[in-house]
Structure 1
Amino acid sequence: MDPIVSTDSLAAFCERAAQFEFITVDTEFLRETTYWPRLCLIQVATDEEAVLIDPLAPNIQLAPFFALLADPKVTKVFHAARQDIEIFVKLTGAVPHNIFDTQIAASVCGFGDSASYDSLVRSICKVELDKSSRFTDWSARPLSDKQLSYALADVTWLRDIYRELRQQVEATRRWDWVEDELATLRSIDTYVVRPELAWERLKMKLNRPRDLAALKVLAQWRERRAQETDQPRSRVLKDDVIAELAAQRPLTAEAFEKLRAVPRGFGRSSAAAEIMALLKDVEALPKSALPALPERYRGPSPKGAVGDLVRVLLKAVAEQHGVAARIIATSDEIDALVLDDEADVPALKGWRRKLFGDKALAIKHGRLGLAATRKGIIEFEVNQAEAAE
C-alpha cells in the first residue's frame, strides 16, 4: 500500500475514521541525533482499513489527522504510547483525547510489566511478526515494500489485541488499575520538559549545598541548549561532565583543562564561557540562598528485615493476582514506604494502595504477619497486645 501523501486524501480518510469507535495508531520516527523526535511515518487502522500517512511528503498538512486525535468520541489505541504521544504534543500542543495503551492493559492482565507488541501478537493473535525492519532509516524515500508491510502490521494486529485486552480488563474488573496508569499518559506535564527541573532526572549524590546549586544551573543550561539546538543532551554535555563541573566549579579555561571528564580544549569554547558565568554566579550566592540538601535518613535500613517482609508480601500479592510484582511496586518504592508512611510513591496511591500499600504499612507497624503454608504465603492479623509482650 502506498502512503497517503496529500492533504485531501488524508482528510477523506480521517472523515471515514471518525465514524468508528476506535482507531489504532503508531509512528515511526528518528531521534538518535536530535533532541526532538523527527516524525517519519504515521500508521492508522480502523475496523475496515489500514493506512500509512507520510508526514514528510511535500505540502501535506496533518491538520485533519490532528483533529481526529482530538475527537473525544474516537478511542485512540496505542501500544507503549509515551513516545508517540510526545511527538503529537510537540506538534499540536495537546495530548490526544480518549487514549488507550495496550501495554498498560497487558500489564494488569498478567502479561508482564512491559510486554512488547510482538510478544502480544504472538500470545493473543498467534502470529510471529517479522521485526527486521525495526531499525531501518524511516526518513529515506521511497520506503521499501518490506518497511511498509512492517509498519502496517504495527496497527492491524493491534485491533485484535485491543479487543482481547479490553475484555480481560472488564472480566477482572481492573479498569481502575488501567485508569490510574492512563492518567499519567493523559497529563501534558508528562511530555513537557521544564529546563529548571532538569536536574531532578540526574541521580547524583552531592555533599555540599553549593554543589547542588551548581548542578541545578548546569542541568538547566544543558536542557535549554539541547532544546534550542535540537541536539541530544549527551552531545551538549554528558552526565559525568555535569557532575564534575558541579563539584569542581572551574572559573577559568585553565581550570577546565584539569578536569578528567571534560574534553580537551572545551575550556576555550563559547559554551564553557557561558558555564563559567553561571558558576561565578553560584560562587557569589550567600549561604542563605543555597538550596538545602535532602535530609539523610538515620533510622533502620530499608534493606533490613522489615523491607524483606514487605518484599515477600509483594511477591505473594503479585502471584495471587497474576501480575508482575513490578507493576504493583518497585524495590525503590518499598524502600521509600519502609522509611516513610507518607512517601510519595505509586505503591501508596490508588489501586496499588488497596492491593498492597496498606498491607505493607500494616506489616511495618506489626499489625499484619505472614506465614508460609503449602498453598503459599498467607496473611494474618497480629494481636497487638501479644506483640507488645
Structure 2
Amino acid sequence: GDSVGYEQLANDLAKARIDKSSRFTDWSRRPLTEAQLAYAESDVTHLREIYLALKADLDASGREAWVAEEMAVLSSPATYEVKPENAWQRLKGRVRKARELPILMEVAAWREREAQTRDVPRQRVLKDDALMDIVQRGPRSVEALAELRSVPNGFERSRSGGEVLAAIERAAAIDPKTLPRLERERGRPTNAAVLDLLKVLLKAVADAERVAPKIIATGDDLEAIASDELSEVPALKGWRREVFGEKALALKNGRLALRIERGRVVVA
C-alpha cells in the first residue's frame, strides 16, 4: 500500500499486539493507569524489532541508497525553510485571475512573516479560506474587509487587519509586467495515449519492484512526463528515475515496448 501504520508494522514484523483501548482516554489525569502506561510504552518497545526487520529487507533488496536519498531530503534544512516571498506558491493553484496574483503574493508573504515571528502555524494567523477570499475580493477598506464572512469578527479593526489592507495596497502598486507567469492547471494532455501507456508501465514496474505506484510516481508526474520529458518531477530524479523514469522516457520515444505474458504486463 501507499503507507502503513505503526500498529500494523508491529503486528506484521514484531508479532506484537497493541492494545489501543486507551487511545482516547483522558491523558491529563494523574496518575496514569497501567493500561495507559502500557499503551504509551508500546510506541517505542517494538521499534527495535521493526527496524531490524526492515533493515534486513533493505539489505536483501539492495535498496539502502533509496532510503539514504529520502532521508537526505528530510534532514536538509532547506526542506523546512519557507521564505515569505515564496509562500504564495502553496496556494497558486487556487488563483483564477491574473489580477489576484499580486494580492496573493503580498498577503501570503505577510501571513508567513507573521507566523514565523509569532512562532505559530500560519493557519492560526489567517486560514487559507479567509486568505483566498481576501485575494479574490481585494478589499481596500476596513468596511470591505469586514464584509468577508470567512474573516474572523473584529479582524478588520485589528493590527493584522490593517497590515492585510496595507499588503493589498502594495499589491496594487506592483507592475503587472514584473509578475511571474500564472500557470494554469493542466487538463488531460492532448497526448492522452502516452499518459495511458505510462500508467500501465508504472503499474508493471511497481508490481515488479513490490512498491506502491504512488511512491514511485504520482499522476501529476505522469502527466508532466507525457507533456514534457524535461519536466522537473521526482519521477525523473534519483532512484525513481533509475527504476521508472528512464523506462518512461524510453517508452515515450519508442525505445521500449510492453507486452502481455500469461495475463501480466511485462516490459520488453
TM-score by length of 1: 0.63
Match of 2:3 in 1: 114
2:13 is the alignment partner of 1:124: yes
Aligned match for 2:130, one of 234, 241, 244: 241
Aligned match for 2:89, one of 183, 194, 200: 200
2:244 is the alignment partner of 1:326: no
Match of 1:214 in 2: 103
Q: Counting helix residues as a fraction of each chain, which structure ranks higher?
A: 2
For residues 42-83 of structure 1, give each alpha carbon's deviation from its aligned partner in whole angstroms, at most 9, with x where no partner exists. xxxxxxxxxxxxxxxxxxxxxxxxxxxxxxxxxxxxxxxxxx
Residues 36-47 of structure 1: matches in 2 within 5 Å? none
Match of 1:163 in 2: 52
What is the letter of the counterpart of residue 308 of structure 1? D
Structure 2: segments with no counterpart, 5+ residues: none
Shift of 1:197: 2.6
Shift of 1:224: 2.5
Aligned match for 2:197, one of 299, 304, 309: 309
Shift of 1:305: 1.7
Q: Counting strand residues as a fraction of each chain, which structure ranks higher?
A: 1
What is the letter of the counterpart of residue 337 of structure 1? I
Cα distance in 1, alignment partners of residues 7 and 184 from structure 2: 45
Shift of 1:353: 0.9
Q: Figure out how many residues of one structure are paired with residues of the other and give that number.
A: 268
User: Matched residue of 2:94: which SS?
Assistant: coil
**Structure 1 residues 146 and 219, CA gap change in structure 2 (3 angstroms):** farther
Superposition RMSD in Å: 2.5
Aligned match for 2:255, one of 353, 356, 367: 367
Is the deviation greater in 281-290 or in 116-125? 281-290
The 8 Å contact of residues 73 and 79 in structure 2, kept in 1 or not, is answered as: yes
Shift of 1:225: 2.2
Is the deviation greater in 195-204 or in 248-257? 195-204
Is the deviation greater in 178-187 or in 156-165? 178-187
Shift of 1:279: 0.6
Shift of 1:296: 7.1
**Structure 1 residues 220 and 306, CA gap change in structure 2 (3 angstroms):** same
The 8 Å contact of residues 250 and 256 in structure 1, kept in 2 or not, is answered as: yes
For residues 291-329 of structure 1, give each alpha carbon's deviation from its aligned partner in whole angstroms, at most 9, with x where no partner exists. 332377699446x22111101111111111211111111
Match of 1:283 in 2: 172
User: Matched residue of 2:247: which SS?
Assistant: helix
Shift of 1:167: 0.9
Residues 1-389 of structure 1: matches in 2 within 5 Å? 112-134=1-23, 143-202=32-91, 204-294=93-183, 300-301=189-190, 304-380=192-268
Cα distance in 2, alignment partners of residues 202 and 366 from structure 1: 37
TM-score by length of 2: 0.88
The 8 Å contact of residues 93 and 185 in structure 2, kept in 1 or not, is answered as: no
Cα distance in 2, alignment partners of residues 273 and 180 from structure 1: 45
Structure 1: segments with no counterpart, 5+ residues: 1-111, 381-389
**Structure 1 residues 129 and 299, CA gap change in structure 2 (3 angstroms):** closer
The 8 Å contact of residues 213 and 290 in structure 1, kept in 2 or not, is answered as: yes
Cα distance in 1, alignment partners of residues 237 and 68 from structure 2: 13
